[in-house]
Chain A
Amino acid sequence: MISNESLLLAAIAIPFLGSLVAALLPTNARNLEAWLAGTVALAEIGIFSVLYPAITDGQVVRSEWAWMPTAGLNFVLRIDGLSWIFALLIAGIGGLVFLYARYYMSPQDPVPRFFSFLLAFMGSMLGIVFSGNLIQLVFFWELTSVFSFLLIAYWHHDAGARSGARLALTITAAGGLCLFGGVLVLGEIVGSYDLDEVLASGVLIRSHDLYLPALVLILLGAFTKSAQFPFHVWLPRAMAAPTPVSAYLHSATMVKAGIFLLIRLWPVLSGTEAWLWLVATTGLITFVTGAYLAMFQNDLKGVLAYSTISHLGLTTLLLGMDAPLATVAAIFHVMNHATFKASLFMAAGVIDHETGTRDIRKLSGLYRYMPVTTALATVAAAAMAGVPLLNGFLSKEMFFAETIETHDGSLMDTLLPYFATVAAAFSVAYSLRFIRDVFFGPPPTDLPREPHEPPHWMRFPIELLVVVCLLVGMFPNYTIGPFLNVAVASVLGGTAPKFNLAIWHGFTLPFVMSIVAMAGGIAVYAFLKLYNFDSRKIPWPAIGDYIPTDFAGTTARSVMRWIGTRSLQPQLRSVVCFAFVAGLAPLVGRTLFPETLQLTKIDAAFALVWIIGVVCALATAYQAKFHRLAALIFMSGAGIATFLTFIYLSAPDLALTQLLVEVVTTVLILLGLRWLPKRDERLLKTDSSMLMRRYVDLTIAMVVGTGLAMLAFAVMTRPAPQYNLAEFFLHRSYAEGGGRNVVNVILVDFRGFDTLGEITVLCIVALVVFALLRRFRPSPESIGSPEQKRIQEAFDVDHPDRRPGETIADYLLIPSVIMRLLFPVIGTLGIYLFLRGHDLPGGGFVAGLTLAIAIILQYMGGGAAWVEDRIRVFPLRWMAVGFAFALAGGGIALAFGYPFLTAFAYDLHLPVIGSLHLSTVLLFDLGVLAIVLGATVLIIIALAHQSIRTHRKPKATAAEEAA
């Protein structure tokens, strides 16, 4: 026998596992997906029925796992009567929706994604109702927002679906953040996030100073999720989702999460003035506005969406009334609403599916084509309107009875019954319109499709739900009664009121209100029909779905126009200025230069190097716009000055690396220049604003340059701090790292993990470059042969004694012979630099660059085709092997129980060769070498290959096509 605790875990885990499996099924496996999802739903219902006896007496089944014990957080699953009835709703409606979706989705829709998200949503929703820890509840709460987003945007080719999904996510996730804040405050008050402890501290919470902030934040979470005014705007837009999603998430379950939370925390948060006013007022406004707006919707799903908003408002209002009996009515109404609204959504989906439209103005007289669906929808809509003998009637009667109870005698309390009757009349009107305009009247004209009854199994979920509506409506005490009792007992505990679910209470005031609402609804419908409001805009007050969202959008856009820009230059300008100010800030109120400057003697040669270097830098800045090659040469001049500085100032490793990188970069940019068409200096236009910008930039550049120079001077002339870090590396480099070249030991041993990260970046860059160049479409001006090549070819044509192509073949003949001869020499040098790297300047980086240059020289001398006929160049494989070596070098330590990248050394004594220092660090450095070699060669030859492949012309831009 499996314990209840593990059953609870299984209830959460099964939908997520199902989701994973669903994602892996073939794209068109609609049947398989539906079977899988249906099985999950049935399994859930099975689990719940096994768990039911354990909770009937108001007990709670809990299971706990340590999650973050240091923060006092446990992963707690708990089930009581309220969770149980919600869970049943989630699994039950879920199962029916899965069956319905099997027929609703077309063969072209990729169903694995759909069913996978639906199942994951089911798991998240069950997570909310089973959470015994508030933080965990918020986690599942946000998860439902995410899956709702993904499901609304399921048809992501539709712009409406995308924007609807974004809006829903923005509102519900922002509400979720508020809820998170509220839960943190609540946890702060109680000292625990455990739901049972929170539920036991009602008095403490309500009397605490932080009660109001906690309440407001939690209500924001609940109201956004449950589409309460003014956050309701996302729900109508979410109707862009496939109808099964609307039926499941946006009427039956997810929008009820807010209600669930309010019921869950009702015992601890309610009973105050603030609760009464905030919750009841919001509920009332939502209830009336939703019903009012629903009357004017022309989209079937729009009617249902606003009706859902209205019913959610009704439920919230009940909870806000702060009376135990009203809470009973709220729970009851959640169940009833889910059954009739889900069936109505499915009916709307059937109509959409079979006729091709959801526009009430186009639809008419469908009973001729689909009599069964007509009957089902009529019953469900009657339940929505609150017609007797149906479940909607029962909870609406309870609601009316509650509104006439006098609570505090305020104006709102007095007016409440009238508001309730008016809104109820509205709901009768839109229910009537839904049925009468769609199913009755003259036969429809110009429908996109010839309507007919849906397949039987598509209709089956609607049939089942309508039967539930009828059974609950006629025999409430034999159907929903016991479950409702258990749920109510779990919320209200000992104070649970006795309630009577009879159909007939006598000729009471609530019944009179029902009659008035019914008659009023018919009158309103007739009035609207008479004045043909179908095709007009919503009359005053036009609080439609557009005001808040569009307002937010336009405000955001205008703010962005004011403070933001899409151009790079202002952005970089502000980054530079900000960096300068940030660098300057710590200096305020201090002296920059030390009192005694520590200066070293000026070496004339060094001065000369930098006179040339500075001239090169300035010339680069001057020439980069029109004379790219000149700028490149000048830039290399500055690079050589940097290289010489490193040599002169005791940094041989840096000097080597700088020199080699300089070579590779120059080759790279030269290759790039081939594809960058010339800029014509004569086209230069200058106007005053351009000049102004230049002066500003010049000032910024000079200020930043001067500032950096002063800062560098100030630091260099201070005595060096005798800090431990440098000493640490100097002391331990040989003793513990086994190498005399401290820089290399730092790179491959002490800070090996940084280096691993760096070579990973290098790999990624090389792959990105490779990928970008695979489909490279150069600008049309540079597709033709370069100028020099054309001259060389023309020379062959002009001289009859020369064969075509001979000049190109002879070009740089002597240098290329030397380059070929140099290949083994440079290769040997590279290996030498690598092997000595641990003790003398060298190492993996330098060796990798050297070997790369050896290969690049062959390309330069012989051309790509010549080289690739003779040597095998597989840079991708070298990179992969290098990565494997680097990981292996670091990973060996793991096998011996040491941390990753711990070095092992072994001194091997060989005859003739002598003592050989072997270390896992060498393996790691070999990995570095292979990656640097592979990445460099890959980047360079990917660019070089562009010259020997044929290029398609880029597609003409829209502007050019128009021209």
Chain B
Amino acid sequence: MEIILALSIGALAGSGVWLILRSRTYQVLIGLSLLSYAVNLFIFSMGRLRTDAPPILEKGVPNTLAHYTDPVPQALVLTAIVITFAMTALFLVVLLVARGLTRNDHVDGRES
């Protein structure tokens, strides 16, 4: 399992980095989204991979890490997901406005 998730994180991050280094605004937008998937999964995986142990407390089960997965990375990632949405929205609108203003979709606002 670990190897699969690690490779996937690598593939997402690699694709994301490739795209954010490109010259078209839309590529950068999509690249940032891919990169945030990779980073979110990476942070999430810091709590180790556990199946069937969601951090939802049940009566009669001791509240320890032996019975539940680590909730802290999950709390961090949850806010990150929402913020990623906000960032995508803002960037999208900025790129649309820039497209209308500069007549091109180069990240520098002019074709080089």
Could you tell me which residues of chain B, from 59 to 112, have a CB within 8 Å of some CB in chain A? 63-65, 68-72, 74-75, 77-79, 81-90, 92-97, 99-101, 103, 105, 107-108, 112
**Whole-angstrom CA separation of A321 from B101 in the bound complex:** 63
Asked whether B63 lies within 8 Å of A567 as measured between CB atoms, the reply is no
Contact among A624, A709, A722, A762 with B86 in the assembled complex (CB-CB below 8 Å): A762
Flag whether A81 is at the interface (Cβ < 8 A).
no
Contact A747 B5 (CB under 8 A): no
Known contacts A566-B108, A618-B15, A625-B22: A743-B10 contact under CB 8 Å: no
A614-634 with Cβ < 8 A to chain B = 614, 617-618, 620-621, 624-625, 628, 631-632
Residues in chain A near residue B34, CB distance under 8 A: 617, 620-621, 635, 638
Enumerate chain B residues within 8 angstroms of A625, measured Cβ to Cβ: 22, 24, 26-27
- B93 pairs with A569, CB closer than 8 A: no
Contacts A614-B7, A720-B65, A740-B56; A747 near B99 (Cβ below 8 A): no
Verify B56–A600 contact, CB threshold 8 A. no
User: A residues within 8 A CB of B89?
Assistant: 668, 765-766, 769, 939
- Is A691 interfacial (CB-CB < 8 Å)? no
User: Taking the nearest CB of chain B, how far is it from the CB of A623, in angstroms?
Assistant: 9
Q: A708-B13, A943-B93 are in contact. Are A755 and B18 (CB under 8 A)?
A: no
Q: How far is the CB of A75 from chain B (nearest CB, A)?
A: 41
The contact of B22 among A624, A652, A679, by CB within 8 Å, is: A624
Q: Which of B16, B30, B50, B89 lies at the interface centre, i.e. has the most chain A CB atoms within 10 A of its CB?
A: B89
> Which A residues touch B8, using CB under 8 A?
610, 613-614, 617, 641, 645
Cβ of A561 within 8 Å of any chain B Cβ, yes or no, is no
Cβ of A587 under 8 Å from chain B: no
Cβ contacts under 8 Å, B19 to chain A: 620-621, 624
CA distance A727 to B57 in the complex (A): 12
| Contacting residues, chain B, for A725 (C-beta < 8 A) | 72
* Chain B residues positioned under 8 Å from A711 (CB to CB): 42
* B83 engages A758 (CB within 8 Å): yes
Q: Are A776 and B71 in contact (CB under 8 A)?
A: no
Chain B residue nearest to A935 in the complex (CB): B86
Given contacts A600-B2, A651-B44, A761-B83, 17 further A-B pairs with CB under 8 A are: A569-B108, A610-B7, A620-B30, A638-B12, A642-B40, A654-B81, A661-B81, A672-B93, A700-B17, A701-B14, A716-B5, A720-B48, A726-B65, A730-B71, A740-B56, A773-B97, A841-B54
A731-743 interface bits toward B, Cβ cutoff 8 Å, 1 = contact, 0 = none: 1011000001111
Instruction: List, sorted by A's number, 25 A–B pairs whose CB atoms are closer than 8 Å.
Output: A597-B2, A614-B12, A620-B30, A625-B24, A625-B26, A650-B55, A653-B74, A657-B78, A661-B81, A668-B92, A672-B92, A700-B17, A705-B14, A705-B15, A705-B17, A712-B6, A726-B47, A730-B55, A730-B68, A742-B56, A766-B86, A772-B93, A841-B54, A841-B56, A932-B82
Contacts of A766 in B (CB 8 A): 86, 89
Interfacial chain A residues near B4, Cβ < 8 Å = 602, 606-607, 610
Chain B nearest CB from A912 CB (Å) reads 24
Contact partner of A712 (CB less than 8 A), chosen from B16, B45, B74, B107, is: B45
Q: Mark A772-798, 1 if CB is under 8 A from B, else 0.
A: 110011110000000000000000000
A residues engaging B (CB < 8 A)? 566-569, 572-573, 576, 597, 599-603, 606-607, 610, 613-614, 617-618, 620-621, 624-625, 628, 631-632, 635, 638-639, 641-642, 645-646, 648-654, 657-658, 661, 664-665, 668-669, 672, 675-677, 679, 697-698, 700-702, 704-713, 715-717, 720, 722, 725-727, 729-731, 733-734, 740-743, 746-747, 751, 754-755, 758, 761-762, 765-766, 768-769, 772-773, 776-779, 839-841, 845, 932, 935-936, 939, 943, 954, 957
Residues of A within 8 A of B69 (CB): 649-651
A734 pairs with B46, CB closer than 8 A: no
Q: Is the CB of B71 within 8 A of A726?
A: yes
Q: Are B81 and A746 in contact (CB under 8 A)?
A: no
Interchain residue pairs A-B with the least CB separation, the first 6: A705-B14, A709-B10, A713-B6, A701-B18, A621-B15, A742-B55
Q: Is the CB of B71 within 8 A of A742?
A: yes
Q: Which of B51, B56, B64, B99 contacts A676 (CB 8 A)?
A: B99
Q: Judge whether A617 and B11 touch: CB under 8 Å.
A: yes
B10: A residues at CB distance < 8 A = 705-710, 712
Residues of B within 8 A of A602 (CB): 1, 3-4
In the bound complex, what is the Cα–Cα distance between A755 and B54 (angstroms)? 21
Known A-B contacts A569-B23, A726-B70; the reply to A741 vs B108 at CB < 8 A is no
- The 8 Å CB contact of B14, one of A704, A747, A772, is A704
Cβ A772 vs Cβ B112 within 8 A: no
A755 partner residues in chain B, CB cutoff 8 A: 79
B24 contacts which chain A residues (CB < 8 A)? 624-625, 679
Contacts of A768 in B (CB 8 A): 90, 93
**Alpha-carbon separation in the docked complex, A729 to B75 (Å):** 11
Beta-carbon contact of A747 and B68 below 8 Å = no
Contact with B100, one of A566, A607, A954 (Cβ below 8 angstroms): A954
* Size of B's binding interface in residues, CB under 8 A: 89
Q: How far is the CA of A43 from the CA of B30 in the complex (A)?
A: 64
Q: What residues of chain B lie closer than 8 Å to A642, measured between beta carbons?
A: 37, 40-41
Is the Cβ of A743 less than 8 Å from the Cβ of B30? no
Counting chain A CB atoms within 10 Å of each CB, the highest count among B7, B21, B88 belongs to: B21
Question: A617-B12, A743-B71 given as contacts; is B49 within 8 A of A716 (CB)?
Answer: yes
Residue ID in chain B nearest A657 by CB atoms: B81
**In whole angstroms, what is the CA distance A613 to B63 when docked?**
34
Q: B88 to nearest A CB, angstroms? A: 6
Q: Are A672 and B65 in contact (CB under 8 A)?
A: no
B63 with A765: CB separation less than 8 A: no
Determine the distance from Cα of A707 to Cα of B13 in the docked complex, in whole angstroms.
10
B residues near A765, Cβ cutoff 8 Å: 86-87, 89-90
Residues of the A chain whose Cβ atoms lie less than 8 Å from the Cβ of B7:
610, 614, 709
How far is A610 from B57 in the complex, measured between Cα atoms in Å?
29
Contact between chains at A701 and B63 (CB < 8 Å): no
- Contacting residue for B15 out of A701, A717, A742, A954, CB 8 A: A701
A35 to B: closest C-beta gap in Å? 47
Bound CA–CA A864/B40 (angstroms): 34
Which B residue's beta carbon lies closest to that of A631? B30
Candidates B30, B48, B77, B88; contact of A654 at CB < 8 Å: B77
- Contact A716 to B2, CB < 8 A, known contacts A632-B30, A646-B44, A730-B55: yes
Assuming the contacts A701-B18, A706-B10, asked whether A652 and B54 have C-beta atoms less than 8 A apart, the reply is yes
The verdict on A709 contacting B57 (CB below 8 Å), with A624-B24, A631-B30 known, is no
Q: How far is the CA of A610 from the CA of B46 in the complex (A)?
A: 19
Question: Are A741 and B55 touching (Cβ within 8 A)?
Answer: yes
Q: With contacts A661-B84, A729-B72 known, is A713 near B38, CB below 8 A? A: no
Residues of B within 8 A of A697 (CB): 18, 21-22
The minimal Cβ–Cβ distance linking B44 to chain A, given in whole angstroms, is 7
B22 touches A957 (CB 8 A): no
**Which of A613, A740, A758 makes the CB contact (< 8 A) with B82?**
A758
Instruction: Please give the distance in Å from B61's CB to the nearest CB on chain A.
Output: 10
Q: Are A747 and B55 in contact (CB-based, < 8 A)?
A: no
Known contacts being A765-B89, A772-B93, is A779 close to B99, with CB within 8 Å? yes
Flag if B5 contacts A777 (CB, 8 Å): no
Does the CB pair B85–A661 fall under 8 Å? yes
Q: Is the CB of A954 within 8 A of B45?
A: no
A755 to B79, CA, bound (A): 8
Measured CB to CB, the nearest residue on chain B to A621 is B15
Which residue on A lies nearest to B1, using beta carbons? A600
Which single residue of chain A is at the shortest CB-CB distance from B87?
A: A765
Residues from chain A with a CB closer than 8 A to the CB of B74 are 651, 653-654, 743
In the complex the two chains form, what is the Cα distance from A230 to B80 in whole Å? 53
Q: Given the complex, which residues of B lie within 8 Å of A778, measured CB to CB?
A: 96, 99-100
Instruction: Kindly state the separation between the CA atoms of A701 and B90 in the bound complex, as whole angstroms.
Output: 25
Q: B60 to nearest A CB, angstroms?
A: 12
Q: A713-B3, A720-B70, A762-B86 in contact; A754/B79 too (CB < 8 A)?
A: yes
A957 proximity list for chain B (CB < 8 A): 103
